[in-house]
C-alpha cells in the first residue's frame, strides 16, 4: 500500500520529467535533411518591381521630316528647302512649295519640330516661274544630318572644326537629282567653305574652300 501511494504521488512528476527529457532530446537531435524547418518569423515579401515605361526617342529635326510635315497639296511642288544655323539640326526649316490646289501659287512654309508654324504666300519671282521642277522627298536618301556627317570629316581634313551649317536642298532642272549645299562656319561664325553633294547618294560634287579631302 505504501508503494502504491508513492507511485501515485510520483507519477505526475515522472511524466513531466519524461516530457521535458524528450523535448530536450528532440532539440539536440540532428534532423533529417528532408525535414522542413518552419521559420520563427515570416520573411519580408519583396516589393514588386515596376517596369519603367519605354520613352520614345524624339524624331530628328531633319529636312525630310519637315517636308513630310507639310500639307499634301504642297508635296508635289517643293522647290527649295533651307535651314540656318544647324548644329547639326537647325531650329526651323523654310520650304518654298507650290499649292497644287491653287494654280501652283508659291508658298513659304516654316516647319519646327515636325510642325508647320507658318504658311504665307511667297513673292519669290524666280522660283514662281520654275513650274517644271520639284523635289521628291522619297529621293532624298541622304538627309540633312547625313550630309553634315559627310561635311564634318572634310573640314577635319583641312584642320577645321564646323560650328554650324546653313543647309539648302535644291533641284537644278527637270528629272534632276536633288542636291545639298552646305555652307560651313567655324565656332566663331567665320565662313570655312562649302560642300555640295547629291542627296540621292551622298556623292560629293564639289567642296570650295576645302582643299583637302579625307582620303588624302
Which DSSP helix (H) or strand (E) runs through 120? strand 115-121
Rg over CA atoms, the chain: 41
Residue 6 in this model has a pLDDT that exceeds 60: no
DSSP code per residue over 173-210: STTPPPEEEEEEE-TTS-EEEEEEEETTT--EEE-TT-
pTM: predicted TM-score of the whole model, two decimal places: 0.72
The pLDDT, as a whole number, for residue 43 is: 67
* DSSP-H helix ranges across 29-176: 63-69, 72-75, 125-128, 144-157
The mean-pLDDT minimum among 24-38, 103-117, 177-191 falls in 24-38
In angstroms, the CA 117 to CA 39 distance is: 68
The pLDDT, as a whole number, for residue 30 is: 52
The pLDDT, as a whole number, for residue 44 is: 66
C-alpha torsion sign, points 28, 29, 32, 37: negative
Q: Per-residue confidence at 41, pLDDT binned at 50, 70, 90? A: low
Residue 39 in this model has a pLDDT that exceeds 80: no
Mean pLDDT of the 89-105 span: 93
Mean predicted lDDT score pLDDT of the chain: 82
The pLDDT, as a whole number, for residue 165 is: 98
| Grid cell for residue 182 | 552646305
The pLDDT, as a whole number, for residue 132 is: 74
The pLDDT, as a whole number, for residue 173 is: 83
Count Cβ neighbours within 10 Å for each residue of 88-127 and write b for 16 or more, e otherwise. bbbebbbbbbbbeeeeeebbbbebeeeebeebeebeeeeb
Amino acid at each position: 500500500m505504501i508503494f502504491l501511494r508513492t507511485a501515485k504521488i510520483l507519477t505526475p512528476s515522472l511524466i513531466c520529467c519524461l516530457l521535458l527529457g524528450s523535448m530536450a532530446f528532440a532539440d539536440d537531435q540532428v534532423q533529417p535533411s528532408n525535414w522542413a524547418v518552419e521559420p520563427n518569423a515570416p520573411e519580408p515579401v519583396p516589393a514588386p518591381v515596376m517596369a519603367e515605361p519605354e520613352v520614345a526617342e524624339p524624331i530628328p529635326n531633319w529636312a525630310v521630316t519637315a517636308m513630310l510635315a507639310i500639307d499634301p497639296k504642297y508635296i508635289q511642288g517643293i522647290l527649295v528647302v533651307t535651314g540656318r544655323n544647324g548644329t547639326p539640326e537647325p531650329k526651323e526649316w523654310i520650304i518654298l512649295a507650290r499649292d497644287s490646289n491653287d494654280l501652283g501659287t508659291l508658298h513659304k512654309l516654316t516647319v519646327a519640330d515636325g510642325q508647320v508654324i507658318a504658311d504665307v504666300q511667297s513673292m519669290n519671282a524666280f522660283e514662281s516661274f520654275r513650274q517644271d521642277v520639284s523635289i521628291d522627298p522619297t529621293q532624298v536618301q541622304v538627309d540633312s544630318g547625313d550630309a553634315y556627317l559627310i561635311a564634318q570629316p572634310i573640314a577635319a581634313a583641312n584642320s577645321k572644326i564646323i560650328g554650324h551649317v546653313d543647309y539648302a536642298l535644291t533641284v537644278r532642272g527637270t528629272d534632276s537629282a536633288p542636291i545639298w549645299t552646305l555652307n560651313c562656319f567655324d565656332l566663331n561664325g567665320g565662313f570655312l567653305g562649302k560642300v555640295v553633294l547629291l542627296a540621292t547618294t551622298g556623292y560629293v560634287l564639289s567642296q570650295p574652300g576645302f582643299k583637302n579631302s579625307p582620303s588624302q
